[in-house]
Structure 1
Amino acid sequence: MKLTIGLIGMFAFLQVYSIQAVLPVLMADFSATEVQVGMVVGATVMAIALMSPFLGMLSDAVGRKSFIVGALLFLAIPTALIAQSPSIGWLGFFRFMQGLSVPGITVVTIAYIGEEFKGRALTELMSFYVSGNVLGGFLGRFLLGHLHELIGWRLGYYLMAMLTLVGALWAWKMLPTSRCFEANPNFRSAVQTLGEHLTNRYVVTACLLGACVLFSLVGCFTFINLHLAKSPYNLSTGALANIFAVYLIGVIITPLSTTLLRRFGSARTVRVAVMVSMFGVLLTLVTPLWGVIVGLAIMSSGVFITQAATISYIAVNVKKGRSLASGLYYMGYYAGGTLGAWLCGITYARGQWSLTVWLLLFVQVLALLVASFGMIKTKSRTA
């Protein structure tokens, strides 16, 4: 079960950030600006933000497994169409189409875990799911960066689409059918639940924290590529893809976060993780490449622990309309990512990487304030 949940998490995020590894190439191929390529990253993130609560409500009405498999199948279509993009605008459109299907995997999988498992099993599976997200985020960037050097990014996306079809087949074969799901097809009831969630301190705090987290991650890992493609580093797409190996640290650290959560609780764990992430961002200002890489590793590790803690915070404390609650969290999470791609693009164009770092630190201070004053003690020590 851990393997299956982890792989579903991986396939969900295989496409979301893959484009980051070839941003310098896209700027040359399409004569695009920093803000334009930033919004190509943000297009998928924006669609995920828009669709997350709606797919959550729909899944609460019709089921879990069929939704996950169907979303993976749909995701393969725009992934293949990206290879045909005639302009940066069309590329952004197909990236947006990718994002429309991702919540059908992410939001529904979290709801599935929350319904089918309790206590320690729940927090462990959540950590494996986030580890899968981390692995998928790394593999998407790593594979496309190296595929571009071998066959070009366009043919690379055809192969990425085939991998997504493999993910759909795996989920169909290996994911057990829900046993504890109770359908709620009443739209009025769903709207009532939505209203309750919008005034639920657990949900609102998690949404705000998630927005700050993904703002930092998207802003950092999008524009560090442009920074490292310039002098004195002059890294190729393959070398930039290798930089994303720092993500693999998150695959190891995230399952270990379960121990931190049980011992210290979500609030304290998040506060420490955000401060660790801030230190990592500051470290990327050093000149030696190894120092930048260490900074990225520290920054991303803090982000992954924060994400795992926040997702568990919702799963433990929200009992009604779990899929909708997850959808609202992801709406806030990816809205933050969209803002990160856009605002960091403007900031990078005006002040290069150094000014971008200060914007990232400002947002992480906001995350620290949310964690300090918004998060309250969870109802279960397993959180």
Structure 2
Amino acid sequence: MLDRRSIGVAVAGATNFLNLYTPQAILPDIARDFGVSVGQTGWTITAPLLAVACVAPFAGTISDRLGRKTLIVTAAFAVIVPTLLVAAAPGLQAMVAWRFLQGLLLPFIFTVCIAYIGDECQGAAGVRAAGAYSVGTIFGGYAGRMICGLGTEFGGWRVGFLAVALVSLLGAAFVALVLPRERRFVPLEGGLRSALATYLSHLRTVRLLATCLIGMGMLFTNVGAYTYVNFYLAAPPFNLSPGVLGLVFTVYLVGMVTTSLSTRLTIRIGRRATLLLAVALDALGLVLTLVPHVGAVIAGLALMSGGLFVVQALSLGFIAATIRKAKSTAVGLYVTCYYVGGALGGVIPGGAWHHVGWPGVIAVLLAMAAAIATTGLLFWRDPQGY
């Protein structure tokens, strides 16, 4: 049975990811309402990812000095404000600006939660808490898209964002009440010079940089696929409505299953072999989406998601196993690269979409899958177990 810490970080993770990818299911509606192109709406996804990438390294450093729970709860409540402002945005530029502000706040949930788990949950409790957090993030990513999609179906996209804001408020209140205050936190000593020395040390660690590239590729693929598949499925021969597009993200939940299975598989066959299987699952799913049948597209997205979330779990596990000092800062660096990849994934496949359509997007994402597999084979040579 999960304890209060595990439940608290799971809901915090869900609240974080509830807000990050919210517009993906309704991009066609935003483009139509504001009279802008498909490519321009991609900035509603890219803007918060860029903001997260900018802030993530500093969120870990600030947390190492100020504490954990207060930052998590404050950020969870604060993110509701830009969510409401997005719902009232008069145009795309204002929406992008408020989405960027959301992204500035979210690392104080994501990065700090990981540090909280490392401080407060030891041994088996840490494994359970990390697993609960991962499941929470996956569910939150699914729920944000679904809630906004269904809200748009029944009342327009502004109602969709209002619904997400309400659920975010409930999540923040739950975390404030349930998550225990940290007891083992020890403030990090040293000034700016000490912090810079830590970052420079990490930047000289080749295995960490390789893992950052793998994480970057993972989110590039995830964001690229789930951004442009909406336009693919909203057009003939599918013609799916916003509400149905939101439900398509139910396939995200496959990641909850594959993530829980990946640890046991890694112990049995090794990290690199598991990575190759995950990337193969991702590639198979991408190719399957080319079949012009909605069932095949959904099945392909499910396989892709199952593979990608294993890649994410493996990456975080590799950092935990190989980085000995300043793990929070290392995670912050990883998160920065991770969200840079996501930001690029919202924009770069747009050129392929414009010229070739969905097959062009798939070609770009398959090339990224090959890059992830190659990087893991070359640099994940760690003799330790998972």
Q: TM-score normalised by the shorter chain: which range applies?
A: over 0.9
Name the CA distance, whole Å, in 2 between partners of 1:373 and 1:120: 31
Q: Corresponding residue for 1:198?
A: 203
**SS state of the match for residue 25, structure 1?**
helix
Residue pair 1:126, 1:308 contacting (<8 A) in 2 also: no
Residue 178 (1) aligns with residue 182 (2) = yes
Residue 102 (1) aligns with residue 106 (2) = yes
Q: Corresponding residue for 2:78?
A: 74
Q: Corresponding residue for 1:62?
A: 66
Partner residue of 2:318 out of 294, 313, 317: 313
Q: Corresponding residue for 2:159?
A: 155
Q: Which has the higher contact order (CA 8 A, sep 6+)?
A: 1
Name the CA distance, whole Å, in 2 between partners of 1:228 and 1:171: 36
> Percent same amino acid at aligned positions?
36
Name the CA distance, whole Å, in 1 between partners of 2:110 and 2:324: 18
Name the CA distance, whole Å, in 1 between partners of 2:85 and 2:268: 47
Q: Render the CA deviation track for 1:55-109: whole Å, top value 9, x for unaligned.
A: 1111111111111111111111101100111111111111111111111111111
Query: Shift of residue 318 of structure 1?
Result: 2.0
Comparing 214-223 and 111-120, the one that deviates more: 111-120
Comparing 256-265 and 67-76, the one that deviates more: 256-265
Q: Corresponding residue for 2:332?
A: 327
Does the C-alpha gap of structure 1 residues 378 and 222 become closer, same or farther in structure 2, counting only changes over 3 Å?
farther
Comparing 224-233 and 304-313, the one that deviates more: 304-313
**SS state of the match for residue 15, structure 1?**
helix
Q: Corresponding residue for 1:20?
A: 24
Comparing 176-185 and 319-328, the one that deviates more: 176-185
Q: Which structure 2 residues correspond to residues 234-273 of structure 1 after superposition, within 5 A?
A: 234-273=239-278
Residue pair 2:8, 2:178 contacting (<8 A) in 1 also: yes
Residue pair 1:265, 1:378 contacting (<8 A) in 2 also: no
**SS state of the match for residue 347, structure 2?**
helix
One-letter amino acid of the counterpart of residue 273, structure 2? R
Residue 45 (1) aligns with residue 49 (2) = yes
Query: Shift of residue 120 of structure 1?
Result: 4.0
Aligned residues: 381
Q: Render the CA deviation track for 1:8-45: whole Å, top value 9, x for unaligned.
A: 11111001111011111011001111211112111111
Residue pair 2:148, 2:163 contacting (<8 A) in 1 also: no
Comparing 153-162 and 18-27, the one that deviates more: 153-162
Name the CA distance, whole Å, in 1 between partners of 2:276 and 2:129: 23
Residue pair 1:316, 1:378 contacting (<8 A) in 2 also: no
Q: Report the aligned-residue RMSD.
A: 1.4
Residue 289 (1) aligns with residue 294 (2) = yes
User: What TM-score, normalized by structure 2, do the two folds share?
Assistant: 0.95
Name the CA distance, whole Å, in 2 between partners of 1:141 and 1:289: 18
Name the CA distance, whole Å, in 1 between partners of 2:277 and 2:230: 27
Does the C-alpha gap of structure 1 residues 378 and 163 become closer, same or farther in structure 2, counting only changes over 3 Å?
farther
**SS state of the match for residue 317, structure 2?**
helix
> Runs in 1 of length 4+ with deviation above 6 angstroms?
none
Residue pair 2:67, 2:185 contacting (<8 A) in 1 also: yes
Name the CA distance, whole Å, in 1 between partners of 2:204 and 2:38: 38
**SS state of the match for residue 356, structure 2?**
helix
Q: Corresponding residue for 1:358?
A: 363
Q: Render the CA deviation track for 1:328-382: whole Å, top value 9, x for unaligned.
A: 1110000001111110112211111011100000011110111111112263x3x
Does the C-alpha gap of structure 1 residues 378 and 308 become closer, same or farther in structure 2, counting only changes over 3 Å?
farther
Residue pair 1:82, 1:95 contacting (<8 A) in 2 also: yes
Q: Corresponding residue for 2:89?
A: 85
Residue pair 1:128, 1:254 contacting (<8 A) in 2 also: no
Residue pair 1:114, 1:315 contacting (<8 A) in 2 also: no
Q: Corresponding residue for 2:40?
A: 36
Residue pair 1:113, 1:122 contacting (<8 A) in 2 also: yes
Residue pair 2:7, 2:179 contacting (<8 A) in 1 also: no
One-letter amino acid of the counterpart of residue 312, structure 1? G
Query: Shift of residue 159 of structure 1?
Result: 2.5
Residue pair 1:42, 1:342 contacting (<8 A) in 2 also: yes
Residue pair 1:124, 1:258 contacting (<8 A) in 2 also: no
One-letter amino acid of the counterpart of residue 274, structure 2? T
Partner residue of 1:131 out of 132, 135, 158: 135
User: What TM-score, normalized by structure 1, do the two folds share?
Assistant: 0.96
Partner residue of 1:207 out of 188, 208, 212: 212
Name the CA distance, whole Å, in 2 between partners of 1:47 and 1:204: 20
Q: Corresponding residue for 2:9?
A: 5
Residue pair 1:265, 1:377 contacting (<8 A) in 2 also: no
Q: Corresponding residue for 2:126?
A: 122
Name the CA distance, whole Å, in 2 between partners of 1:316 and 1:182: 22
One-letter amino acid of the counterpart of residue 290, structure 1? G
Name the CA distance, whole Å, in 1 between partners of 2:266 and 2:217: 20
